[in-house]
Amino acid sequence: MIRKSSSTITTLAAILTTAWQGSLIPLSAQTPAAVKAAPKATTSAPAVPRTPDGQPDIQGIYGRRGIHGLANEERESNGPRGADDPLEDAAYSAPPGQQRERNRTPNDQNFNQGGAVGPVPMAGPPPAEPRIFGLVDKVLPWKPEEDKKRREFLVHTNPAASLRYVEYDARCALPGLFLNGGPYEFIQAPKEIVILSEYQHYTRTIHLGGRPHLGSNVHLFMGDSIGHWEGNTLIVDTTNFNEFTGFTRQIPYLSDALHTVERFTVADRNNIDYEVTVDDPKLFTKPWKTVALYRRAKDYEIMEFACAEGTHTLENILGKPPSE
């Protein structure tokens, strides 16, 4: 038997109390040092069903919280701005009569306590421990000259000065990895995982067979994704993006040098912790991370989505096209 002194027990209790309290603090309110000091997730998650080839069985439909609603944190990036800043008006105010439906996301408390993603109900309870969402480092590491270009770009987006300044997803372009909160359907096969999105009806394939990335001359909206399992964590390396990928309204574009590493960690049967490291050396001085949560949907199936059918988005922004 190993005996512990009362001072050792007191110290351990203090550490555990601090860690528990830290888990309740939003990432946007923590300092980078506090975030880095938080304990890392392990792969020793509760037992989950497995596919015949031994993968954690993550098949099903999920909603995602944490990537899609970063506007408040991005507003603070690189310092606060005054109410009369033209970037404030351009990037965060919708034109009269235009509702930004895709920026309406459930709040953290609702999602942590059960809630829903829009009309999609969640299955089972949320994770036992409350989750924190959003940017790990509050200030994004923009290269100064690139941040200046971004700010100048955003000034021309509201209203859009030309088609160049209309958001990619408003033009029905595939939204990349970020501009969508779900629902998603995960389908598993021995050598690939396919993610079907209701929004824009895109299909993303994560290749598990060990093949290399595509040649550097191939550029795709969703990139080229190579994955492998480490315990209950699916690690996905994605390259070969084109230059038509946005992150949010405040980061309206990323470059073709974008490289992401995602970690899908199965917390339990209904919840998957998600972390993505964004590395775009053309725009940022270093990689940065954001964290999120996938929650399984209950009694839901992927519905029809028609981006272009009957839309008046471009007409509302740019006016009616000239008659012949």
pLDDT in tens, 155-205: 998 878 888 888 887 788 888 888 777 799 999 998 999 999 988 888 999
- What is the spatial distance between Cα 165 and Cα 160, in angstroms, rounded to a whole number? 5
Contact present, 131 and 273 (Cβ < 8 Å): yes
The amino acid present at 294, given as its one-letter code, is Y
Would you list the domain boundaries of the chain? Answer: 40-318
DSSP secondary structure string for all residues of 147-203: HHHHHHHHHTBTTBSSGGGS-TGGGT---TTTS----EEEEEETTEEEEEESGGG-E
Q: Report pLDDT for 207.
A: 98
Q: Report pLDDT for 73.
A: 42
Task: Name which of 115, 121, 119, 146 is nearest 133 in CA terms.
Answer: 115
Contact present, 48 and 269 (Cβ < 8 Å): yes
Instruction: Specify the residue for token string 């309204």.
Output: 249
225, two tokens: 């994704």
Q: Report pLDDT for 274.
A: 95
Q: Which residues pair with 142 in a beta bridge?
A: 284
* pLDDT under 50: residue ranges of the chain: 1-43, 45, 69-110, 113
Task: Name which of 299, 248, 292, 243 is nearest 66 in CA terms.
Answer: 292
Average confidence score pLDDT of the chain: 74
Q: Report pLDDT for 126.
A: 82
Give per-residue pLDDT as tens, 231-252.
999 999 999 999 888 888 788 8
